[in-house]
Chains A and B, each alone.
Chain A
Amino acid sequence: MFKLIHRYFRGRFERFYFKSHWHFVLDLSLLIVIICLLATLTGLYLYRPNLPGFGSYARPTVDLNNPPLSLELIPDAGIVGLEEGATLKISFKNSGSVAISDLKLSLETSDGNFTLKKLEKVKDNSNFNIDNQVIKFAKIAAGASGEAEVKVYFSSKSNERTINWRARSEYSIDGQTLKHDFDLSALKVKAELKVTDAAYYTSPQGDQLGIGPLPPFVGIPTNCWIFLEAQSQDNWKNLIVSAKLPKGVELTDSRSLLAGDFNYNPETRQLIWKVAEMPGRAESYHLGFEVQLIPTADQVGLVLPLLNNVQYYATDVLTGQEVNGSLDKLTTDLDKDRFNSGQGKVVNE
Chain B
Amino acid sequence: MKKTSKSNFFFISFLAVVITGFLFPSVSGALTLKPSYPRLANYFLKWEISSSEAKELAKWDLLILDMEVAENSPAQLKKIRQLNPSVIILAYLTSQEILDNINDYGSATLRQELASGLSDGWWIHDQNGKTISNWPYTSMFNLTDGAIPDANGKKFNDYLPDFVANRIAASGLWDGVFYDNTWGDVSWVNGGRMDLDNNGVNDTPAQADAAWAAGFKKMLAKTRLLTGNDFIIIGNGRVYDGYQSIINGMMLESFPSSWENGGTWAGSMKTYLKLPNLNPAPAISVLNVSDKNEFNYQHLRYGLASALMGSGFYSFDYDVTKHGQTWWYDEYDVNLGPPSSQPFNLLANASEELKPGLWRRDFKNGVAIVNSTDKKQTYALLKEELQKISGGQAPAINNGAKINYIQLAPQDGLVLLKRNTAISNSAFTNGYFYRVFNIQGNQISGGFFSYVSAYPGEAEVIMASGSDAGSDINLSAASGRIILYQNGRSVSSFYPYDKAYKKAVNLTAHLDDGYFKKVVTGAGLGGGPQVRVFSPSGKLEGSFFAYDKNLRGGVSVALADIDNDGQDEIITGPGKGDKSGIKIFTLTGKLKKTFSAYGEKFNGGINIATGDVNGDGAIEIITVPASAGGPQVRIFSAGGQALASFFAYDESYHGGARVSVSDMNSDGTPDILVGIKNFY
The chain A residues found within 8 Å of chain B, CB to CB, are 203-205, 207-208, 211-213, 217, 219-221, 223, 252, 254-259, 283-284, 286, 288, 349
Q: Within 8 Å of chain A (Cβ to Cβ): is B378?
A: yes
* B662-680 interface (Cβ within 8 A of A): 677-680
A212 touches B451 (CB 8 A): no
Q: Which of B404, B431, B435 contacts A207 (CB 8 A)?
A: B435
Are the CB atoms of B679 and A255 closer together than 8 Å? no
Q: Is B515 an interface residue (CB 8 A)?
A: no
Q: A207-B433, A259-B458 are in contact. List 17 more A-B contacts (CB 8 A).
A: A205-B649, A205-B653, A208-B402, A208-B446, A211-B385, A212-B404, A212-B405, A213-B405, A255-B449, A256-B431, A257-B457, A258-B431, A283-B677, A284-B678, A286-B457, A286-B678, A349-B378
Chain B nearest CB, measured from A184 CB (Å) = 37
Chain B residues near A208 (CB, 8 Å)?
A: 401-402, 446-447
Residues of B within 8 A of A207 (CB): 433, 435, 446-447, 679
| Contact A211 B402, beta carbon cutoff 8 Å | yes
B396 in the interface (beta carbon within 8 A): no
With a CB–CB cut-off of 8 A, which chain A residues contact B457?
256-259, 286
C-alpha gap A211/B403 in the complex (Å):
6
Tell me which residues across on chain A come within 8 A of B679, comparing CB atoms.
203-205, 207
Among A212, A219, A259, A283, max chain B CB count under 10 A is at A212
B381-420 vs A, CB cutoff 8 Å, 1 = contact: the mask equals: 0110100000000000000011111000000000000000
Q: What residue of chain A has the Cβ atom nearest to residue B458's Cβ?
A: A258
Chain A residues lying within 8 Å of B447, measured Cβ to Cβ, are 203, 207-208
Shortest Cβ distance from residue A14 to the other chain B in the assembled complex, whole angstroms: 117
A255 near B402 with CB under 8 A, answer no
For B500, what are the chain A residues with a Cβ–Cβ distance below 8 Å? none
Quick one: closest B residue to A260, CB to CB? B457
B641-675 CB contact bits vs A (8 Å, 1 = yes)? Answer: 00000000110010000000000000000000000
- Which residues of chain A are within 8 angstroms of B453 by Cβ–Cβ distance? 255, 257
Q: Are B449 and A254 in contact (CB under 8 A)?
A: yes
Q: How far is the CA of A112 from the CA of B587 in the complex (A)?
A: 48
The minimal Cβ–Cβ distance linking A249 to chain B, given in whole angstroms, is 16
Give Cα distance in the complex from A220 to B678, angstroms.
30
Among residues of A, the one whose C-beta sits closest to the C-beta of B379 is: A220
Give the complex CA separation of A189 and B66 in angstroms. Answer: 86
- Closest A residue to B446 by CB, please name it: A208
**Judging by beta carbons under 8 Å apart, are B382 and A256 in contact?**
no
- Knowing A211-B403, A211-B404 touch, does A221 contact B380 (C-beta < 8 A)? yes
Contacting residue for B404 out of A223, A255, A283, CB 8 A: A223
A255 surroundings in chain B (CB, below 8 A): 449, 451, 453
| A221 x B405 contact (CB < 8 A) | yes
> Which one of B383, B405, B446, B649 has the highest number of Cβ atoms from chain A below 10 Å of its Cβ?
B405
Q: Considering residues A203, A211, A252, which has the most beta carbons from chain B within 10 angstroms of its beta carbon? A: A211
Q: Give 6 nearest A-B pairs by CB, closest first.
A: A258-B457, A256-B449, A207-B447, A256-B451, A256-B431, A258-B431
B352 to chain A, nearest CB (A): 26
Q: Determine the chain B residues whose CB is within 8 A of the CB of A221 once the complex forms.
A: 380, 382, 404-405
CB proximity of A77 to chain B, nearest CB, Å:
35
Q: What's the Cα separation between A284 and B677 when bound, in Å? A: 9
Query: Within the assembled complex, what's the spacing in Å between the Cα atoms of A257 and B405?
Result: 27
Closest CB in chain A relative to B181 CB, distance in Å = 47
The complex places the Cα of A212 from the Cα of B380 at a distance, in Å, of 9
Distance (whole angstroms) from the CB of A332 to the closest CB of chain B: 16
Measured in the bound complex, the distance between the Cα atoms of B378 and A219 in whole Å is 10
Q: Knowing A207-B446, A211-B385, A219-B380 touch, does A258 contact B677 (C-beta < 8 A)?
A: yes
Across the interface, A205 reaches (CB within 8 A) one of B382, B383, B431, B650, namely B650
CB distance from A94 to the nearest CB of B (A): 58
Bound-state CA distance A304–B650 (Å) is 32
- A212–B677 Cα distance when bound, in Å, is 25
The CA-CA distance from A207 to B446 in the complex, in Å, is 7
A-B contact pairs, 15 of them (CB 8 A): A205-B679, A211-B402, A212-B403, A220-B378, A254-B449, A255-B449, A256-B433, A256-B451, A257-B451, A258-B457, A259-B458, A284-B678, A286-B431, A288-B449, A349-B378
With A and B bound together, what is the CA distance between A349 and B432 in angstroms? Answer: 35
In the assembled complex, how far is the CB of residue B361 from the closest CB belonging to chain A, in whole angstroms? 22
- In the complex, what residue of chain A is closest to B380 when comparing beta carbons? A220
Which residues of chain A come closer than 8 Å to B405, judged between CB atoms?
212-213, 217, 220-221
CB contacts (< 8 Å) of B383 on chain A: these are: 252
A257 in contact with B431 given A203-B679, A204-B679, A212-B404 (CB within 8 Å): yes
Report B-chain residues with C-beta under 8 Å of the C-beta of A204. 679-680
Shortest A250–chain B CB gap in Å is 11
Q: Which residue of B lies closest to A284 (CB)?
A: B678
Question: Hey, which chain B residues are within 8 Å of A212, CB to CB?
Answer: 403-405
Task: Compute how far the CA of A221 lies from the CA of B380 in the bound complex, rounded to whole angstroms.
Answer: 7
Q: How far is the CA of A220 from the CA of B380 in the complex (A)?
A: 6
A252–B385 alpha-carbon span in the complex (Å): 12
Q: Give the nearest-CB partner of A288 in chain B.
A: B449
| Inter-chain contacts of A284 with B (CB < 8 A) | 678
Residues of A within 8 A of B446 (CB): 207-208
What are the residues of chain B within 8 A of A256 when measuring CB–CB?
Answer: 431-433, 449, 451, 457
